[in-house]
């Protein structure tokens, strides 16, 4: 397995190189020029050139790309063109609040959706199944913004059940602020996940081994919890593990509306400002996380399914 | 995560279901209880304000956006400040003991620095074990050289660019050598002694005092720059009324009253009506009145608005989408908010919004009648109502009300909405009914409102038979497009840096063409001559006449389609006292008082 992991890690190098090249070409070719942002409105041509020189933007593109690759290796992306803040500090500051929101929401969503998926599969075709599926479709149909506006106005402002917005770095105060956005995140994700897990479970329910288990006289609950759930693990794991890297990248809309100083807005702000160092750092981070997520999924397959082996 | 704990054999799980369920319940309970235990932060005599954008940092040299400028001004100060109450705006001494003495030729300014002013206590003052030292004239020499230092890459350099004798040469030398020599004497910027600062100007300037009143020119101690380096962005070591407690530009900035702040008094005189409005109740009393300030970042307007209604903010702007909820048809406060004691503050803003023609463009830049025709096709009253909730007055020239050169009675003939006349002008332009005119291109931002405004403009032009193609860009792409003279027509707004019509007229001075602020690339020798002449004149009727003449030239040449001067509508809670809208005094929170 170690060799497999090593081989997969080495295989990320050309992928990261490809991602880096794509980002570099895209933002140098069609993106805006960050220099004009940096010099301000009162700039002269001379100042524009001075700033380009200061930030190495006047160097040949090959040299600039080489510097970018060096940054990837050293994990040192320098400072943001826009805010002048150290990028590593921006990311480090944002990860905590983002994870405070996304990790509990993700855990609750996963736990609830797997449980509900099993439940509705168990009652397939009956009223419970229909009601839950109907609610899932309704839940998926409404945009997250709708939930946010509703939640902030009715649940937070009118009913006073939650703070309207804000964040506190202290423990456990920060949880007070993430309850409502977490609830919204769960509601929004639940519809898709429940339907997905329901399908995964139903696929297993129609397998021969379930009929055999029933024929042997096993109770339905034992069949579901011991056999069906375990055999549904491959699609469930795929869905769950692939979402984990995204947790670190935050939830832009929720963070923005609820004033959570997470990482979600960093990339969006950077794109708006042609903040190349931040764009480079965030896209590389995202690519790395996704690659690691895929690797973790493969490894976990072997843990839940002995038929799977890593070669 | 929970599900990945199964063993590979498919036998007994690493974690039993019981463990998983208990862990989950604990997590739920933990979150729920934390909600119960969390206490609302106790705000006692602390001002709670909102800002609509992230605060980039607290270094005066980089505080080019208004919101950073406001936060910077809580901790840092300059030689001069704006009188809080007087209108028209007036400068007064702040860290200077008094207004400067000016030589007869108008080129030498001598400032006496206020004695006994201390920098805030900070670890950067190593020799005094963190105790803030006294401010002296050299601090301004250092801070302004730092602004000129190419390595600082300050967006505020323009306030001194070309103005002080020897400073540009010092900057050029620093640029060549790669390292600035701060010990090198600059003739135009000298500390004659600890409390005397002398400036020598290249030529007399009516704007120099306004320039050095801006936050870029605030005093920064060299110890702080050396100690924090680029991290000075996240610290504040000034002489100002508030001391930084916590800085998180993405979320919150917390300030407390600076214990070593000198005695400064609330103004004893103001503009007419200020006494009746209760703005002089605290005249002569020491400021600041509040013990702290919490500035919270609200990038979305709804949470800010709801927090204000829930009395968790002391002041608020009125979001466009909530305008009708707060303001009645007669443009007053709605009864519901009146009953809560909320106060509405309306004030004109020193700004102008306009459509810009690229005068370097072969189609729109060379045909005055075409530009005039397009200007007359726009129903400004409708645009102001539709997109700005009626918060604006139609602009006749670039000069807004509140500064010399504005003429309330003047009506720009090309700002009047007259389709028939516009069609006549289009005939004179050589494009009757738009025939023969290629499709014009409009550059705008990719957000919904910009798109809607562009569509309204296209509709206005369409009435004349002129077709407008709308190209949407991100802000940096938009900037590149216009700074590299590629755009044809685009919308823009300019908020004054200081209360002088020159700040608006410089936007059309040919030597300021792109990438400078004259992005219309307008060039008129007569305008340039008048502009240069006006620069040497102090505020006087003669200068005002020059401003009006320049405005006339612009009106006739029509490089801009004038739109509006905006009106600001702000709300305050009944307990917030001494609040008066101000275009330039970013440090105004020091005058506010909470009366709960």
Rounded CA-CA distance B585/B365 in Å is 38
Indicate the pLDDT class of residue B28, thresholds 50, 70 and 90. very low
The rounded mean pLDDT for chain B is: 91
B218 near B236, Cβ under 8 Å? no
Distance between CA atoms of residues B479 and B481, nearest Å: 5
DSSP letters for B540-561: SHHHHHHHHHHHHHHHHH-SEE
Helix (H) or strand (E) holding B494: strand B489-495
Q: How far is A187 from chain B (nearest CA, A)?
A: 16
Q: Which residue has the higher pLDDT, B139 or A14?
A: B139
- A172 to B38: CB separation less than 8 angstroms, yes or no: yes
Residue from A253, A265, A270, A250 nearest A83 by CA? A270
For B402, left (φ over 0), alpha (ψ -120 to 50), or beta?
left
- Sign for the pseudo-dihedral over CA of B363, B366, B370, B376: positive
Rounded Cα distance between A208 and A225, Å, is 17
Mean pLDDT of the region B89-107: 97
Least confident span in A123-137, B19-33, B62-76, B309-323: B19-33
* b (16+ CB within 10 A) / e for B433-448: ebeebeebbbbbbeee
- Whether A156 and chain B come into contact, CB under 8 Å, resolves to yes
Question: Is B233 part of the contact surface with chain A (CB cutoff 8 Å)?
Answer: yes
Q: How far apart are CA B329 and CA A171, in angstroms?
A: 47
pLDDT at B13: 35
DSSP state of B135: -
Q: Is the domain A95-273 a CATH 1.10.3720.10 member?
A: yes
pLDDT of B8 strictly over 50: no
Please judge whether B516 and A42 are an interchain contact, meaning their C-beta atoms are less than 8 angstroms apart. Answer: yes
- Summarised one tens digit per residue, pLDDT across range B413-444 is 999 999 999 999 999 999 999 999 999 999 99
Domain layout of chain A by residue ranges: 2-74, 95-273
Helix (H) or strand (E) holding B50: strand B46-51
What residues in A contact B42, CB-CB < 8 Å? none
CB contact under 8 A, A34 and B476: yes
Write down the pLDDT at residue B121.
98
Say whether B82 sits in a helix, a strand or coil: strand
**What pLDDT is stored for residue B48 in this prediction?**
96
Write down the pLDDT at residue A311. 64
Residue B505 clears pLDDT 50, i.e. is over it: yes
Q: What pLDDT, on the 0 to 100 scale, is given for residue B34?
A: 36
Contacts of B230 in chain A (CB under 8 A): 79, 84, 86
The residues in A 35-74 lying below 8 A from B, measured between CB atoms, are: 36-45, 47-48, 50-51, 54
- Closest by CA to B383, choosing from B396, B393, B397, B372, is B393
Chain A residue numbers with beta carbons less than 8 Å from the beta carbon of B299 are: 256, 259, 265
The confidence score (pLDDT) of residue B280 equals: 97
Q: Looking at the predicted structure, is the pLDDT value of residue B170 above 70?
A: yes
In chain B, the domains with their CATH numbers are 20-255 (3.90.76.10), 351-568 (3.10.105.10)
Which chain B residue is nearest to residue A37, measuring alpha carbons? Answer: B476
Residue of B593, B50, B40, B596 whose CA lies nearest to B315: B50
Report the C-alpha gap between B324 and B385 in whole angstroms: 12
Chain A residues closer than 8 Å to B312 by CB: 164
Q: For B35-80, how does the pLDDT look when each residue is reduced to its tens digit (9 = 90+)?
A: 333 333 445 799 999 999 999 999 999 998 899 999 999 999 999 9
> C-alpha distances in angstroms, B353 versus A25, A46, B468, B515?
36, 28, 20, 19
Structure tokens at A31: 């993106």
**ipTM (interface pTM):** 0.87
CA atoms of B323 and B327, how far apart (whole Å): 6
What percentage of chain B reaches a pLDDT higher than 70?
A: 93
Q: B483 at the A interface (CB within 8 A)? A: yes
- Two tokens at B290? 């509040």
Closest chain B residue to A40, measured at CA: B155
- Enter the pTM of the model: 0.87
pLDDT at B20: 38
Taking only residues 217 to 256 of chain A, the set having a beta carbon closer than 8 angstroms to any beta carbon of chain B reads: 225, 230, 233, 236-237, 240-241, 244, 256
pLDDT beneath 70, residues of chain A? 30-32, 310-311
Tokens (6 digits) for B590: 């020091």
Q: Does A294 touch chain B (CB under 8 A)?
A: no
What mean pLDDT is predicted for residues B378-406? 94
Ramachandran assignment for B33, one of left (phi > 0), alpha (psi -120 to 50 degrees), beta (any other): alpha
């Amino acid at each position: 397995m170690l060799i497999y992991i090593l081989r997969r890690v080495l295989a990320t190098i050309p992928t990261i190189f490809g991602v880096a090249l794509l980002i570099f070409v895209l933002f140098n070719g069609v993106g805006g020029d960050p220099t004009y942002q940096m010099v301000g409105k009162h700039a002269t041509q001379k100042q524009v050139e001075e700033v380009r020189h200061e930030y190495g933007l006047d160097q040949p593109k090959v040299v600039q790309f080489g510097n970018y690759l060096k940054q990837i290796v050293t994990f040192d992306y320098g400072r943001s063109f826009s805010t002048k803040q150290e990028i590593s500090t921006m990311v480090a500051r944002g990860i905590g609040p983002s994870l405070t929101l996304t990790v509990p929401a993700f855990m609750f969503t996963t736990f609830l959706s797997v449980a509900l998926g099993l439940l509705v599969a168990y009652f397939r075709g009956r009223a419970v199944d229909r009601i839950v599926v109907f609610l899932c479709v309704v839940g998926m149909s409404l945009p997250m913004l709708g939930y946010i506006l509703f939640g902030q106005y009715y649940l937070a402002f009118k009913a006073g059940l939650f703070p309207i917005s804000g964040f506190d770095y202290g423990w456990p105060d920060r949880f007070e602020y993430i309850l409502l956005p977490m609830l919204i995140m769960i509601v929004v994700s639940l519809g898709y996940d429940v339907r997905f897990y329901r399908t995964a479970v139903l696929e297993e329910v129609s397998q021969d081994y379930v009929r055999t288990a029933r024929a042997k006289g096993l109770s339905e609950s034992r069949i579901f919890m011991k056999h069906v759930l375990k055999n549904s693990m491959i699609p469930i794991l795929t869905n769950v593990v692939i979402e984990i890297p995204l947790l670190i990248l935050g939830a832009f809309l929720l963070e923005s509306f609820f004033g959570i100083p997470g990482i979600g807005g960093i990339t969006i702000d950077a794109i708006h400002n042609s903040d190349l160092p931040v764009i480079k750092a965030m896209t590389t981070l995202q690519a790395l996380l996704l690659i690691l997520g895929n690797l973790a999924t493969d490894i976990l397959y072997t843990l839940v399914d002995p038929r799977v082996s890593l070669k | 995560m929970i599900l990945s704990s199964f063993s590979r054999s498919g036998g007994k799980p690493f974690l039993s279901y019981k463990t998983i369920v208990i862990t989950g319940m604990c997590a739920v309970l933990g979150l729920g209880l934390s909600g119960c235990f969390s206490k609302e932060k106790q705000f006692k005599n602390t001002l709670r304000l909102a800002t609509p954008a992230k605060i980039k940092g607290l270094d005066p040299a980089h505080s080019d956006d208004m919101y950073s400028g406001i936060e910077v001004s809580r901790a840092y100060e300059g030689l001069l400040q704006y009188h809080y109450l007087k209108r028209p705006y007036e400068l007064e001494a702040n860290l200077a003991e008094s207004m400067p003495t000016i030589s007869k030729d108008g080129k030498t300014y001598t400032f006496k620095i206020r004695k006994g002013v201390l920098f805030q206590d900070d670890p950067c003052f190593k020799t005094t074990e963190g105790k803030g030292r006294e401010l002296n004239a050299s601090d301004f020499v250092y801070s302004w050289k730092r602004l000129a230092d190419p390595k600082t890459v300050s967006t505020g350099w323009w306030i001194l660019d070309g103005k002080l004798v020897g400073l540009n040469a010092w900057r050029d030398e620093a640029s060549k050598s790669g390292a600035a020599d701060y010990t090198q004497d600059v003739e135009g910027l000298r500390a004659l002694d600890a409390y005397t600062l002398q400036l020598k100007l290249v030529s007399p300037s009516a704007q120099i005092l306004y320039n050095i009143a801006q936050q870029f020119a605030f005093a920064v101690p060299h110890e702080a720059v050396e100690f924090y380096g680029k991290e000075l962005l996240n610290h504040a070591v000034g002489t100002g009324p508030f001391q930084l407690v916590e800085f998180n530009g993405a979320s919150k900035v917390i300030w407390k009253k600076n214990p070593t702040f000198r005695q400064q008094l609330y103004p004893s005189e103001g503009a007419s009506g200020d006494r009746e409005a209760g703005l002089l109740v605290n005249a002569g009393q020491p400021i600041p009145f509040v013990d702290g300030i919490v500035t919270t970042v609200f990038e979305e307007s709804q949470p800010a608005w709801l927090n204000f209604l829930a009395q968790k903010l002391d002041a608020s702007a009125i979001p466009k989408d909530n305008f009708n909820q707060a303001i009645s048809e007669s443009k007053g406060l709605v009864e519901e908010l009146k009953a809560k004691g909320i106060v509405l503050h309306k004030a004109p803003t020193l700004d102008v919004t306009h459509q810009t023609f690229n005068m370097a463009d072969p189609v729109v830049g060379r045909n005055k009648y075409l530009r005039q025709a397009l200007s007359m096709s726009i129903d400004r009253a409708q645009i102001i109502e539709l997109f700005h909730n009626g918060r604006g007055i139609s602009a006749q020239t670039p000069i807004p009300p509140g500064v010399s050169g504005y003429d309330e009675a003047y009506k720009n003939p090309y700002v009047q909405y007259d389709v028939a006349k516009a069609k006549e002008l289009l005939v004179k332009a050589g494009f009757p009914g738009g025939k023969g005119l290629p499709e014009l291109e409009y550059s705008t931002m990719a957000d919904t409102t910009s798109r809607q405004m562009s569509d309204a403009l296209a509709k206005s032009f369409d009435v004349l038979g002129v077709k407008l193609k709308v190209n949407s860009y991100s802000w940096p792409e938009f900037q590149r497009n216009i700074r590299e003279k590629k755009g044809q027509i685009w919308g823009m707004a300019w908020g004054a840096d200081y209360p002088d019509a020159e700040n608006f007229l410089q936007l059309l001075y040919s030597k300021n063409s792109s990438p400078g602020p004259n992005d219309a690339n307008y060039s008129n020798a007569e305008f340039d001559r008048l502009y240069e002449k006006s620069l040497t004149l102090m505020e006087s009727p003669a200068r005002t006449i020059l401003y009006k003449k320049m405005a006339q030239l612009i009106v006739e040449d029509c490089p801009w389609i004038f739109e509006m001067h905006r009106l600001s509508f702000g709300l305050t809670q009944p307990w917030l006292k001494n609040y008066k809208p101000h275009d330039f005094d970013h440090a105004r929170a020091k005058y506010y008082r909470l009366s709960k």
